[in-house]
């Protein structure tokens, strides 16, 4: 197996893992609190966002983007080099 192909496959795997981690950290960054009705005030649900989890999600999305760009560049270089006559 070609070395560039292994690198592309590893980067695609890391890309998927980074996106899954971003989704999980974004979900962990939301805290909901339900408030029941009190007197004339209606009940409502409040959502609080935890900044460190959202920062981690943002960082993981950025890393996934870099991995996707690098994997695409390696794939293009590898396919272009494989088509060349030796």
Which single residue is written with the structure tokens 């390696």? 74
Q: Are 34 and 43 contacting, i.e. CB atoms less than 8 angstroms apart?
A: yes
Integer angstrom CA distances of residue 22 from 3, 11, 32, 54, 75: 29, 16, 19, 8, 25
pLDDT in tens, 59-69: 999 999 999 99
How much is the pLDDT for 45?
A: 95
How much is the pLDDT for 51?
A: 96
Which secondary-structure segment (H or E) carries 57? Answer: helix 51-82
């Amino acid at each position: 197996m070609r070395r560039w192909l292994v690198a592309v496959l590893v980067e695609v795997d890391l890309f998927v893992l980074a996106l899954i981690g971003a989704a999980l950290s974004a979900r962990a960054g939301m805290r909901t609190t339900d408030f029941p009705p009190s007197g004339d005030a209606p009940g409502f649900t409040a959502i609080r966002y935890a900044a460190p989890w959202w920062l981690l999600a943002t960082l993981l999305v950025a890393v996934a983007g870099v991995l996707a760009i690098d994997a695409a560049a390696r794939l293009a270089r590898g396919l272009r080099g494989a088509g060349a006559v030796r």
